[in-house]
């Protein structure tokens, strides 16, 4: 018998949310946006010349990087793009978390962080959130090899105020601090202005949520030019052509439409606030969410039971069978009509209890 298996890099992979095949479902389980991408995206898609596909894409993703830089009022040298923020985050782990000291992140957080750390053999130490699911910034004052957290946090939806982020930065000038802002556009305040003050801060965002383009896979990091150069060096040593021609063209069209972005994110926020009120009336409680989902627990019926009852009705929400959060449902915000179906089912179901 050969022994090749002992040399395999064995990993326990991340488990993505379900993508059910049925058409007639209400999908509130992976925090996608219920509204279509900006109208310009369709126009560019229709006009796209397939002959362009003969050529390799621009490895620097120039046009898209320029459009993102313009949207945020930063330099193009301060922007890095990748295949969804998962790709950008993986590159960040590979590039910057290279110390023998543990990196720090919350115990309840995006469940990809420990997967990347394990895969890349990066030591880490989780910092428990307080019982109200907020971050205690003093937990991030110990020696470490880097810090990462989502803001708002996932799956809790809880926002950390900018002055608290700055407190973390003040105590961590010699390591890279990453703020994963996948959900920042639903009412939160971005830490982006702080990149001008802290050369060790990376702010990561995505087109998957607020720009309705989870299927195209675009994410980006913004930070000091030197950080972006280091990140690009690793990318070019891994795969130069991460972004394809069509994605670059569609992404550029999407980010140029600020009005549509504002209109659709506002609609999601308005629906979220209404759903919060109705869930409270139905006996749910939750930390205040500033994202496009609500992480809620019910006073008498278990999350697991509700998850299964909803699924039977073809309404998909997310349930995590994990310590501290196994009695919570993460409910993505859909259209008003979708949320009405969801709420009226709950109303009926809970009345029978």
What is the CB neighbour count within 10 angstroms for residue 21? Answer: 6
d(Cα 17, Cα 31) in Å, to the nearest integer? Answer: 9
Q: What is the DSSP letter of 145?
A: S
Question: Considering the rule CB under 6 A, would residue 180 count as an interface residue with ligand PMP?
Answer: yes
Which 97-136 residues touch ligand PMP, going by CB under 6 A? 110
223, β-bridge pairs: 202
Q: Which residues contact 214 (CB under 8 A, 6 or more apart)?
A: 30, 32, 33, 84, 207, 208
What is the CB neighbour count within 10 angstroms for residue 13? Answer: 9
Residue 200: helix, strand or coil by DSSP?
Answer: coil
- Letters for 2-41 (x = contact with ligand PMP by CB under 6 A, - = none) are ----------------------------------------
Q: Which of 33, 95, 208, 264 binds ligand PMP (CB under 6 A)?
A: 208
213/346 with CB nearer ligand PMP: 213
Which 143-162 residues touch ligand PMP, going by CB under 6 A? 150, 154
- Helix locations, 221-285, DSSP H: 225-236, 245-256, 258-281
Q: Which of 34, 37, 57, 84 binds ligand PMP (CB under 6 A)?
A: 84
Instruction: Please state the closest distance from residue 29 (CB atom) to ligand PMP, in A.
Output: 11
Stretch that binds ligand PMP, among 82-90, 92-100, 293-301, 344-352 (CB under 6 A): 82-90
Q: Which of 156, 172, 190, 206 binds ligand PMP (CB under 6 A)?
A: 206
Q: What single string gives the DSSP state of each residue in 231-245?
A: HHHHHHTT-S--S-H
Q: Which of 85, 127, 172, 210 binds ligand PMP (CB under 6 A)?
A: 85
Q: What is the DSSP letter of 221?
A: E
Q: Which residue is nearest to ligand PMP (CB)?
A: 84
Instruction: Please state the closest distance from residue 50 (CB atom) to ligand PMP, in A.
Output: 26
Q: Which residues contact 33 (CB under 8 A, 6 or more apart)?
A: 209, 210, 211, 212, 214, 264, 268, 292
Instruction: Please state the closest distance from residue 139 (CB atom) to ligand PMP, in A.
Output: 19
Instruction: Please state the closest distance from residue 31 (CB atom) to ligand PMP, in A.
Output: 6
Residue numbers of the site for ligand PMP (CB under 6 A)?
84-86, 110, 150, 154, 180, 182, 206, 208, 214, 219
């Amino acid at each position: 018998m050969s022994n090749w298996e002992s040399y395999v890099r064995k990993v326990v992979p991340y488990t993505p949310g379900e993508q059910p095949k049925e058409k007639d479902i209400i999908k509130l389980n992976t925090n996608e946006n219920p509204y279509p991408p900006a109208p310009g995206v369709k126009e560019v898609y229709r006009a796209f010349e397939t002959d362009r596909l003969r050529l390799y894409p621009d490895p620097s993703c120039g046009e898209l990087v320029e459009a993102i830089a313009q949207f945020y009022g930063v330099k193009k040298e301060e922007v890095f793009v990748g295949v969804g923020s998962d790709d950008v985050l993986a590159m960040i782990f590979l590039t910057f978390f290279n110390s023998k000291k543990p990196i720090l992140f919350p115990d309840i957080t995006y469940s990809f962080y420990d997967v990347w750390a394990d895969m890349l053999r990066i030591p880490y130490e989780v910092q428990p959130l307080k019982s109200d699911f907020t971050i205690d910034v003093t937990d991030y004052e110990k020696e470490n090899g880097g810090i990462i957290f989502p803001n708002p946090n996932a799956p809790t939806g809880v926002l950390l105020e900018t002055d608290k982020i700055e407190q973390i930065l003040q105590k961590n000038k010699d390591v890279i601090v990453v703020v994963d802002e996948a959900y920042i556009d639903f009412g939160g305040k971005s830490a982006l202005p702080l990149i001008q003050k802290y050369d060790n801060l990376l702010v990561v965002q995505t087109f998957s949520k607020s720009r309705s383009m989870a299927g195209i896979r675009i994410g980006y990091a913004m930070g000091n030019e030197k950080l972006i150069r280091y990140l690009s060096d690793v990318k070019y040593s891994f795969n130069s052509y991460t972004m394809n021609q069509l994605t670059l063209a569609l992404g550029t069209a999407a980010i140029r439409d600020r009005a549509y972005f504002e209109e659709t994110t506002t609609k999601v926020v308005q629906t979220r606030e209404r759903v919060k009120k109705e869930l409270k009336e139905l006996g749910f409680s939750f930390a205040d969410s500033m994202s496009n989902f609500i992480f809620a627990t019910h006073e008498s019926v278990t999350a697991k039971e509700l998850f299964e009852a909803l699924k039977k009705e073809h309404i998909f929400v997310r349930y995590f069978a994990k310590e501290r959060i196994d009695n919570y449902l993460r409910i993505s915000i859909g259209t008003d009509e979708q949320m009405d179906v969801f709420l009226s089912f709950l109303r009926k179901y809970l009345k029978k209890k």
